């Protein structure tokens, strides 16, 4: 396998893509490109260098998200999970400056204070490694202003549900989950990348 030269580049405005927990094969990536999709968001928890090569080789760009393994328990858990997300990205030769999202949903068993502490720890840990923290907002636990001010994030991804997820104060979202369906027979969620209200955009990974 030839490892691609990985580079960060800003996402064009109003670009369509998809996200998926499971792997994306070379054939699936090619099908996605043929259907007009420009990027995929994949979970760093189960991503490989071969899959990255297949995705980029097909002409898709790549973004990263982590499924939080510690159930938003505490600041130390957030720090540990953030360090693990960065370690996995480094092991995949992902260059610094790339945004890594943390998947925040299913918070019913947590207090607001617990999730707040977790997210602060996670965001700080990712930032310290040279990567850029982002948040997938799949909870209504926080207000629009809290999302904007309390965690150190500048990159926001709105989950498809719940529908009443707050619109981030001042900034809004750079990525929207807009529905679900299939590509090449595999289940996916569809996404739309856009410039936020403060002019912020995501960086995606391409091959140089």
The phi-psi region of residue 179 (left if phi > 0; otherwise alpha if psi is between -120 and 50; otherwise beta) is: left
Return the CATH architecture of domain 6-207: Alpha-Beta Barrel (3.20)
Stretch 177-195: mean pLDDT: 98
What is the per-residue pLDDT across 33-92, written as a single tens digit (0 to 9) for each? 999 999 999 999 999 999 999 999 999 999 999 998 778 889 999 999 999 999 999 999
Q: Is 199 exposed, middle or buried (0-12, 13-18, 19+ CB in 10 A)?
A: exposed
Triad 151, 160, 127: Cα angle to 5°: 25
With a pLDDT cut of 70, the percent of the chain lying above it is: 97
Position 8 scores a pLDDT of 86
Residues 28, 163, 203, 99, CA torsion sign: negative
Q: How confident is the model at residue 2 (pLDDT cuts 50, 70, 90)?
A: very low
Which residues neighbour 80 within 8 Å (Cβ) at sequence distance 6 or greater? Answer: 70, 121, 125
Q: CB of 169 within 8 A of CB of 150?
A: no
Instruction: Write out pLDDT tens, residues 129-144.
Output: 999 999 999 999 999 9
State the CB neighbour count (10 A cutoff) for residue 178: 13
The least confident of 3-12, 71-80, 136-145, 186-195 is 3-12
pLDDT on residue 4: 57
Mean pLDDT of the chain: 94
Whether the upstream peptide bond of residue 162 has omega within 30° of 0, thus cis, is yes
| Backbone angles phi and psi of 111, in degrees to 5 | -80, 160
Alpha-carbon distance of 129 to 80, in angstroms, equals 12
Whether residue 54 contacts residue 24, with contact meaning beta carbons closer than 8 Å, is answered with yes
Domain boundaries, the chain: 6-207
User: Pairing relation of β-strands 186-193 and 15-20?
Assistant: antiparallel
Number of Cβ within a 10 Å radius of residue 41: 25
Model confidence pLDDT, tens digit, residues 114-130: 999 999 999 999 999 99
Query: Given pLDDT bands bounded at 50, 70 and 90, which one contains residue 6?
Result: confident
């Amino acid at each position: 396998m030839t490892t691609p030269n990985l580079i960060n580049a800003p996402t064009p405005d109003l670009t369509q893509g998809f996200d998926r927990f499971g792997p994306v094969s070379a054939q699936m990536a090619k099908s996605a490109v043929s259907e007009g999709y420009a990027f995929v968001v994949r979970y760093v928890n189960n991503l490989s260098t071969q899959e990255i090569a297949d995705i980029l080789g097909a002409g898709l760009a790549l973004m990263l998200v982590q499924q939080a393994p510690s159930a938003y328990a505490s600041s130390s858990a957030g720090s540990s999970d953030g360090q693990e997300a960065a370690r996995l990205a480094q092991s995949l030769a992902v260059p610094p400056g790339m945004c890594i999202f943390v998947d925040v949903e299913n918070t019913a068993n947590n207090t607001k204070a617990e999730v707040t502490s977790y997210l602060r720890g996670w965001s700080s840990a990712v930032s310290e490694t040279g990567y850029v923290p982002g948040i997938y907002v799949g909870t209504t636990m926080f207000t629009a202003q809290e999302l904007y001010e309390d965690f150190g994030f500048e990159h926001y991804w709105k989950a498809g549900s719940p529908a009443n997820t707050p619109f981030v104060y001042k900034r809004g979202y750079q990525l929207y989950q807009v529905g679900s369906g299939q590509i090449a027979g595999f289940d996916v969620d569809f996404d739309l990348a856009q410039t936020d209200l403060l002019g912020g955009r995501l960086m995606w990974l391409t091959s140089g």
